[in-house]
Amino acid sequence: MKVVNLSEYQQFSQEKMKKNNMFETERFFCDTYCFEPGQEQKGHIHGSQDKVYLVLEGQGTFQVGSEKQVLGPGQGTMAPAGEEHGVKNESGQRLIVLVFVAPNP
């Protein structure tokens, strides 16, 4: 059994948003996305994968389709396959997001 400590997957990069892979199989993956203030994951589309975002720390502006909303700790959203989605950290604090994608591209 693989057991992880969430604190070990909260690494940041000054250059761009940092993805930290926690779990991965041929069917899904689970990462933490760590954003410094001002960093973003630009809007993009996955043709056949659904993505779930869950905010662990901080707050960010989440886009799914044409909608945008600021989410904070304990809040989450889902980007269905085919919908444009992205995240931007417009706050002055770090943002940590737990992300699930299935099936694994």
Rounded to whole angstroms, the Cα distance separating 63 from 24 reads 25
Rounded to whole angstroms, the Cα distance separating 96 from 73 reads 9
- Look at residue 87 in the predicted model and tell me its pLDDT: 98
Rounded to whole angstroms, the Cα distance separating 55 from 60 reads 8
Whether the CB-CB separation of 58 and 94 falls below 8 Å is answered with yes
- Look at residue 105 in the predicted model and tell me its pLDDT: 67
Decide: pTM greater than 0.85. Answer: yes
Characterize the bridge pairing of strands 29-35 and 76-79.
unpaired
- Look at residue 4 in the predicted model and tell me its pLDDT: 96
Q: How many CA atoms within 13 Å lie on the side-chain side of 49?
A: 18
- Look at residue 16 in the predicted model and tell me its pLDDT: 97
- Look at residue 39 in the predicted model and tell me its pLDDT: 98
Going from the first residue of the chain to its last (105 residues), give the mean pLDDT of each consecutive group of 10, the final group possibly shorter. Answer: 95 98 96 98 95 98 98 98 97 97 85
